[in-house]
Structure 1
Amino acid sequence: MPLFKLFKSYESEATKFIAELKEKNPKLEEQQRAGRALLWDKAPLDLDKTAREKESRVQQQPYVYQNH
């Protein structure tokens, strides 16, 4: 007899805790997605703007404190 049939109704403490937390705060997943979007989801890069910024940079001397 396979083990998964024996323990089909088993639920770990972590799973129970998460389920209870979601019951108490139904907007939890929505808040998590908003936080993830705030930190990780970035706007697409504008390649023309990036190229212009790169071309307009002023070259720095190899040793900044040398007076020439």
Structure 2
Amino acid sequence: MSLFNQHSMYESEHTKFIKELKEKTPGMDERQQAGRALLWDKAPITLDEQRRIAESRLRQQAYPYQTKV
């Protein structure tokens, strides 16, 4: 008997907790996805916007603390 077959029914305490939490709070997956969308999913930027952003960037000195003499 392989080790995988022997322990295939094992669930960690963390996994059990997450399953219970999801059962107790319906809609949690949808709220989690909506929260992720707020923080990470961004609308695509057009080529014109990309060009404008690139042109508006200011160049920084290689060493910003050195004064120009």
Written as runs of structure 1 = structure 2, the 5 A alignment for 1:11-50 is 11-50=11-50
Aligned to 1:3: 3
Where does the alignment leave 5 or more consecutive residues of structure 1 unmatched? Answer: 63-68
SS at match of 1:33: helix
The one-letter code of the counterpart of 1:46 is T
- Calculate the TM-score normalised by the size of structure 1: 0.69
Larger Rg: 1
Residues 54 and 11 of structure 1: CA distance in aligned 2, closer, same or farther (over 3 Å): closer
For 1:4, what is the secondary structure of its paired residue?
Answer: helix
CA 1:2–1:51 in 2, change beyond 3 Å: closer, same or farther?
same
TM-score using structure 2 length? 0.68
Q: RMSD of aligned C-alpha atoms?
A: 2.3
Sequence identity of aligned pairs in percent?
A: 59
Q: Which runs of 5+ in 2 are unaligned?
A: 62-69
